[in-house]
Structure formats: C-alpha cells, structure tokens
A and B are shown apart, each in its own frame.
Chain A
C-alpha cells in the first residue's frame, strides 16, 4: 500500500526527515510513535502534500504510484486521507457540503456518477450516530465552534464517509478524554479492512490499547530507529524514548 524509501524533507532549510524508511502493507495498521520534534507530523503532512515542505531525496509509493508526483487533491481522490492534529475551522463552508463535495470529487475521479443526495444523507447520519455526533453539526460550518473532541470526531466521520484506502491519523488521540477516545477508536476500528491500511501517528500508547496495531515504529530525529509488534509500544510506555534517542545518536 505504502512504501517510503530514504525520505529526506526540509522545512525552511532545516532537515526534519533524514532518510525515513517505512512500508505499510495492505490491510495493516501501523503506529508511528516518537518524542516531540522527531518528525511525526512532518511525515503526515508530507504524505498529504502540504505546501512548505521540500523533499530533497527519497521516494514514496502509494498503491504502486509515485505519491510525491501527485497534488494534494489528487492524493485524496486516489484514496489517501489525512486526519489532522489541529482541524481548522472554516465558518461559512457547511460541513455537509464539504463532505458531499469530497465524496463527489473522489467518485468523479473514479468515473462514477455523483452520489444520490438522499442515500448520501442517510449514510452520513448513520456514521454520525456511530461517532455520537449531534445531527445539528451537519448544518454548521466546518468545525465551527466545535470543541477539540468534536473536531477529532468530525475528522473520523469524514474518514468513515470517504472510506480511504490509506488513512494517516496525526495525533488523533491528543486532547481527547477517555470516553471520546473510545468513540474515536471504535470509529477507526470499523474501517479496518483487508484492502485498507492505517497509519496512526501518536505520542502515547493509550490509543493503541483501543486500536491494536500490527506494527509499531519509533521515529527519532527523522528516522525510524526501531520497529516491532505492539509490545514495543508497551516497552516505550515503560522506558520512555530516551534509550532510543541515545541509540540513534
């Protein structure tokens, strides 16, 4: 699904990713963990194509294609989804319009007709119930006046409706209380499928109690320094990152 080789990326001339290697096979859930400033969010943004990052070396293949050659919107239409750490508020752009426009953009890309308005709303309502979101949020501006937890739920709602092939969730657990974390995790879990992959970018182990990953990678100073199964996350919880930072240096 996703193959990253020797990825180097800089922001304002400062190198953040320094030869990152990561392979996420189809149907698997991978967690990328690491201390502050290790490059986790940069990785998520580079994958989604955010402007402001310069790729200085390396390749990223997504479903066999050169991901870096695609524009952000093409990546999304191809089935890449970024769950934002800090979803923006866009007053005046209606939530349901955005969802519908996003779904139709992807359908058009695949040569499918536009979604039926009634079926679409039925689907969205069903997913909203799953995310325990109030229906009134549909008619509001995108994330407008939403609490931190509501914004994260809205990200997952969008993901559930868009059904991406690869979802990269950037610190989706940050700022969530334990109940909201469970709702978000169960939403993510409903999307686990043999033809779909997930990358969870997170600081903490606690999200991984609810979304059990197939593999755990540790990102330190712009590189994956260790990979393992879920027990690696538990080890990090016990020992922190310092021992790996020492090894990486």
Chain B
C-alpha cells in the first residue's frame, strides 16, 4: 500500500464530500473518519491479522460512492415468507416494506442530522475499514427493536450493481435491540455483472439485557467483487447473539467481526462456512472479547478451498480479568480440495483470569480416504462421493440454520457452487 493510494483516497473524499448526506453521517464525523483512516493507513499484508486478505484490489479501487442506479432490479433470491424485505442498491434503499410489530426500520437518507453521529464500536486496527464506510456511506438502515417484538423477521438485501469504474458501494446497518427484544435478521449481499466492484459494509449490533438476535449473513457477491465488511456487536447481560455467516461469492472477501460481551452471562454463537474456488480468497477475522463474568462464546468454522483459492479464518477469544467463569469453545476445520488451494486457520486464545473453561481445535486436511472408499464401495460415483463428503463437512454450520426455507436456499446455493453436483441435488 503506497502513499499514493491515501492521497487518492483524500482527493476522492474531497471531491465527493459535498454530496454526501449529513443525516447518514454527520459531515464532521466523515472528515474525522477519513483522517483517522489515513493516519493508520489502509490495511497491509504485513499486518498479522490482514495477511490472508487479498488487499491488492484496494490499490486500484475507486472509493467514491457509485451513482444511484435507476435500472430495474435483477432477479433477487426468493423472499422469505414472514419476513419484511428491504432492498438496497449500491448502498441506498430502493424498496421497503411494512416493518413488523415492535420494529422500526428507517433509511437514514431521510433522517435528521442527529441520526448521523454513530460509528462502529471498535477501535481495533482490524476494524478500520469501517472508517472508510463512515466517510463515504450514502445511506444507512437503522433498525430499532422494542421489547414487544417477539420473533419478528427482517430481510436486508444489498445489491452491488455498479462496476468499480463508476464507484463503490457502502452498505451500512445499525441494529439495536431493546431489553428482552427478539429478532431474526437475514442479511444478503448479492451482485450482478462481470465488472469489478468494491463493496465495503459496516454493521453495528447493540443488544440490551436479555435481547436475542439471530443474524444470518450471506455473501453471494458477483465473481469480480471485492467485499470488505466490518461488524461490531455489544452484548449486555444475558443477551444472546447467534451469528451465522456463509460466504461463497466475491473474488476477494474479508469480514471482520468484533464482539464485546460486556454484560454478565451474555452468549455469542458465531458459525461460519466459506467456500473458495478458482482464485477466490475468503478471509474472516473474528474477535470475541469477554468483559463480564459467565459469558460464553462458541465459534464454529468450516471452510473448503478448491482450485487455487484461499480460505482463512482467524478466530480470537480474549478473556479479560473481569470475565471469570467464561466458557468458550472453538472448532475450526478446513478442507483442502486442490493441490494449489490453501487453508489458513488460526485459533487464538488470550486469558487474563482464572476459572475459565476454554477449548479449541483446528484441523485442516483433505477428504478422508476411508470415507471416500466406503462410498465408492457402495457404488456411488467418485464425483458424487466427493460432493457428499464436502457437503457433510459443512453440515456442522448448515445444520444450525433454523429457518427451513433459508436453509433450503443455502443448501441449494452451496450445492450450486460445487461443480457437477447434479446427482447430489437429487439427494437433497
């Protein structure tokens, strides 16, 4: 990363700032964000927690937000029944719905100046691309959930339609659940076209005591998209956050998750599955920071790297002094499906207190020869057997999807990513 990129970033910001909406982010905060980012510099491969990310794309990316597109929407994934769907095109709300009882969904494009003052809850260098979003965001979805909302469903679809020549897309979401509120959110990132595209999303999750958020995040961006993503979450006492991420799309994908468990007995379950093929890179950094007693984290990752792809998961669990009685489990597994494929798994554990129970395991390997032969010996064709075993490998994550309709969509999406899987489809 060179100084020239930062100069260009500043220049692009300078040219774009007058047109950026203050109700989404206050103008002063935008300028602060760009200065903070330039002071730190863009992420670089020499940094430990960025080394598996394909960052080359930032060198030539155009940061200016894409102009709003008026084109008709391409076919989108089938809507989930019972969910209110909101569609954002290149980071701006295109179509909304009637919010469920107890839920307010607002596009901050039509908000007031007081709305535009929040940022993501992380000072970490791993989360600094959120500052890029803060500087350039063109809209934000602000979802507030009151305690009377019990099990409502919201679907957010972010479509990247513009090519990188015309500009980047900045999805931005704030999800705030009041005490005792429950919500299921399905967040999809999709794309169209063959043009290179830059997407940089930022999501902030705030859970008040005893709130419960189930959050599915599906990244199925178009083949030449660079998808950068930052999510922060704060969990108050007894709050529960079930986050399940599936990444199959984009050319280069990097997601940073920083969860802070600040209240007693807060629970985080982070499950992620990633498929890499061709020259894709799928990278995730997830930090779970335990700041209160009896908090728990379960991290589950399953990744398959085929062809020349790279799939990385860097999962860190930090247990601070005040977090006695923490219970954390990490299970990271990678499957190599190609001589030039790469899997990078890093389980990290940092414990500053006694009386904790933390387990972790990480394994990477090829398909199990014994399993493969067992299936062949039953007459199953080799390519079907391989697909079955890959499928089975992802099951630890996929089985956690509690919405049957979504699960089916994801299963078919995953199968579709496995080439020549027609025979396997018949089994589902």
Contact A76 B392 (CB under 8 A): no
The answer, yes or no, to whether B370 is at the interface (CB within 8 Å) is: yes
By a beta-carbon cutoff of 8 Å, the part of chain B in contact with chain A is 368-371, 373-382, 384, 388-389, 391-396, 423, 427
Contact B395 A101 (CB under 8 A): no
Contact A97 B395 (CB under 8 A): no
Contact A101 B380 (CB under 8 A): yes
Contact of A97 among B394, B396, B427 (CB under 8 A): B427
Contact B374 A84 (CB under 8 A): yes
- Known A88-B368, A88-B370: A102·B378 in contact at CB below 8 Å: yes
Pairs A–B under 8 Å by Cβ, sample size 5: A49-B376, A51-B373, A71-B376, A90-B389, A105-B381
The residues of A that contact B375 with a CB separation of less than 8 Å are 90, 93, 98
- Known A51-B369, A97-B427, A101-B384: A90·B379 in contact at CB below 8 Å: no
Contact B376 A93 (CB under 8 A): no
Q: How far apart are the CA atoms of A76 and B371 in the complex, in Å?
A: 16
A residues 26-57 with Cβ under 8 Å of B?
Answer: 48-51
The residues of A that contact B382 with a CB separation of less than 8 Å are 71, 73
Given contacts A76-B379, A90-B392, A142-B374, 9 further A-B contacts (CB under 8 A): A49-B377, A51-B369, A51-B373, A73-B377, A73-B381, A75-B377, A92-B396, A105-B378, A141-B392
Please give me the residue from chain B that is nearest to A143 by CB atom: B374
Q: How far apart are the CA atoms of A82 and B389 in the complex, in Å?
A: 20
- Known A88-B368, A101-B384, A101-B427: A93·B391 in contact at CB below 8 Å: yes
Q: How far apart are the CA atoms of A87 and B388 in the complex, in Å?
A: 17
Contact A73 B369 (CB under 8 A): no
Contact B376 A73 (CB under 8 A): yes
A116 to chain B: closest CB distance in Å?
Answer: 14
Contact A88 B374 (CB under 8 A): yes
The answer, yes or no, to whether A25 is at the interface (CB within 8 Å) is: no
The answer, yes or no, to whether A192 is at the interface (CB within 8 Å) is: no
Q: How far apart are the CA atoms of A245 and B376 in the complex, in Å?
A: 35
By a beta-carbon cutoff of 8 Å, the part of chain A in contact with chain B is 48-51, 71-73, 75-77, 81-82, 84, 87-88, 90-93, 97-98, 100-102, 105-106, 109, 141-142, 158, 162
Contact B392 A87 (CB under 8 A): no
The residues of B that contact A90 with a CB separation of less than 8 Å are 371, 374-375, 389, 392
Contact of A102 among B373, B380, B391 (CB under 8 A): B380
Q: How far apart are the CA atoms of A91 and B427 in the complex, in Å?
A: 15
The residues of B that contact A72 with a CB separation of less than 8 Å are 373, 376-377
Interface of B is mostly: helix
Contact B379 A77 (CB under 8 A): yes
Contact B377 A48 (CB under 8 A): yes
The residues of B that contact A77 with a CB separation of less than 8 Å are 379
Please give me the residue from chain B that is nearest to A92 by CB atom: B392
B333 to chain A: closest CB distance in Å?
Answer: 12
Q: How far apart are the CA atoms of A2 and B393 in the complex, in Å?
A: 37
The residues of A that contact B389 with a CB separation of less than 8 Å are 90, 93
The residues of A that contact B376 with a CB separation of less than 8 Å are 49, 71-73, 76
Please give me the residue from chain B that is nearest to A74 by CB atom: B379
Please give me the residue from chain B that is nearest to A108 by CB atom: B379
- Known A88-B368, A88-B370, A90-B371: A98·B392 in contact at CB below 8 Å: no
The residues of B that contact A102 with a CB separation of less than 8 Å are 378-380
The residues of A that contact B373 with a CB separation of less than 8 Å are 50-51, 72
B62 to chain A: closest CB distance in Å?
Answer: 43
The residues of B that contact A91 with a CB separation of less than 8 Å are 392, 395
Contact A105 B379 (CB under 8 A): yes
Contact A92 B379 (CB under 8 A): no
The residues of A that contact B388 with a CB separation of less than 8 Å are 93, 97, 101
A56 to chain B: closest CB distance in Å?
Answer: 21
Q: How far apart are the CA atoms of A93 and B380 in the complex, in Å?
A: 13
Q: How far apart are the CA atoms of A97 and B391 in the complex, in Å?
A: 13
Contact B378 A76 (CB under 8 A): yes
Q: A50, A76, A101, A106: which has the most chain B beta carbons within 10 Å?
A: A101
6 pairs of A and B residues whose beta carbons are closest in the complex: A92-B392, A92-B395, A76-B379, A105-B379, A102-B378, A72-B376
Contact A92 B391 (CB under 8 A): yes
A64 to chain B: closest CB distance in Å?
Answer: 20
Q: How far apart are the CA atoms of A81 and B379 in the complex, in Å?
A: 9
B105 to chain A: closest CB distance in Å?
Answer: 37
Please give me the residue from chain B that is nearest to A107 by CB atom: B379
Contact A98 B391 (CB under 8 A): no
The residues of B that contact A73 with a CB separation of less than 8 Å are 376-377, 379-382
Contact B379 A109 (CB under 8 A): yes
Please give me the residue from chain A that is nearest to B395 by CB atom: A92
A103 to chain B: closest CB distance in Å?
Answer: 8
Q: How far apart are the CA atoms of A105 and B382 in the complex, in Å?
A: 12
The residues of B that contact A82 with a CB separation of less than 8 Å are 377
Q: How far apart are the CA atoms of A93 and B389 in the complex, in Å?
A: 7
